[in-house]
Amino acid sequence: MTETQTLSLAEIEEISLKALMVAGASEENAKPLAVATAATEADGVASHGLAYIPIYCEHVQCGKVDGQASPVLSQPRPGVITVDAATGFAHAAIDMGFQKLIEASEAQGIAALAINNSYNCGVLGYHTYRLAQAGMVGLGFTNAPASIAPSGGAKPVVGTNPFSLAVPGSDGEPALLIDQSASTIAKSEVMKHAREGKPIPEGWALDVDGNPTTDPNVGLKGSMAPSGGYKGVGVALLTEVMAAALAGATLGIHASPFSGTAGGPPKTGQFFMAIDPGATSGGYFAERIQDLVGAIRAQDGAHIPGDGRTAKRKVNREAGVAVNVATLDKINAIIAAG
């Protein structure tokens, strides 16, 4: 059984911040990522939480991420904001752009934020969630190093490329939050199984010849299985157009891996849209969403995307999170070395 230790969200944020700064990140770059890490753990998405802090630290130290980066914001059109992440952490660049994005969407009804020269943004739904909290319908895309082969092929050309939709609710929480990758499962889950020496379920990944495998290491050398076959490839291509091509970021086929130390900065991208529902719906938005959500809630056993994370968030904010002790040991070793 995996040994765990319960930490409060404040403690998770604190040790994340300390480790990142010891590794060489400025407080301005480390703080948004530390806050996101605590929020991710609160949502129960452990694969993208503290487990990633040693990787982030390694990437600062090897130069895959510039821990001292200074993102640059521009507003080329009234409804368009761009941020050059300057090969730093995506979170600082997103934070820089979000206030302008929300202001522009309030003024115009709809606005877009494009981020390039970026990096892994963690859980995409964490970011769209914040747009919904601001009363906006938030739509987000982020591309990743190639790991999904095209339909009929075996060589990866697009990443797991998630998209996320967050819809504002009446209680400060999203009425629904969709956050899904183009693959059957997030690549980080396959990496987690590889680290732990555990087999993966068939259908998660393919070998170099395009055949199903239950060996995570074989899958990591091959490709991720797209969700829904060719439909998953379509989602990955959609995201690649939005987060890479439209953002002026690096395509997944040219991006260095988010894992390991080889290849330099990945320079991938993110793309967000914020839509003020009051500008488009004639005042019917809240009513329509309540009707839609109500139709789902009326069915026994049915759930809405985001329900699981919301339930865990409410519990974990009070009770804290059970964290893998081996992960904590790695992080504390980084802090101690500083």
- In the chain the domains, ranked by start, together with CATH numbers, are 1-62+306-338 (1.10.1530.10), 68-177+231-301 (3.30.1370.60), 184-225 (3.30.60.50)
Encoding tokens for residue 308?
A: 């699981």
Q: What one-letter code names the amino acid at 200?
A: I
Q: Which of 236, 271, 229 is nearest to 85 (CA)?
A: 271
Residue 76: count other Cβ atoms within 10 Å of its Cβ: 9
| Placement of tokens 């987060």 in the chain | 243
How far apart CA 57 and CA 21 sit, in angstroms, is 9
Q: From first to last of the 338 residues of the chain, give the pLDDT tens digit.
A: 679 999 999 999 999 999 999 999 999 999 999 999 999 999 999 889 999 999 999 999 999 999 999 999 999 999 999 999 999 999 999 999 999 999 999 999 999 999 999 999 999 999 999 999 999 999 999 999 999 999 999 899 999 999 999 999 988 889 999 999 999 988 888 988 998 899 999 999 999 999 999 999 999 999 999 999 999 999 999 999 999 999 999 999 999 999 899 999 999 999 999 999 999 999 999 999 999 999 999 999 999 999 999 999 999 999 999 999 999 999 999 999 98
| 3-state SS, residue 125 | helix
Place of tokens 């904010």: 317
Closest CA to 128 of 329, 327, 305: 305
- Measure Cα distances from 227 to 47, 67, 230, 241 in Å: 19, 34, 8, 18
Write out the catalytic residue numbers.
Answer: 47-48, 189
pTM: 0.94
Calpha distance 178→230 (Å, rounded): 20
Q: What is the Cα–Cα distance from 2 to 73, expressed in whole angstroms?
A: 44
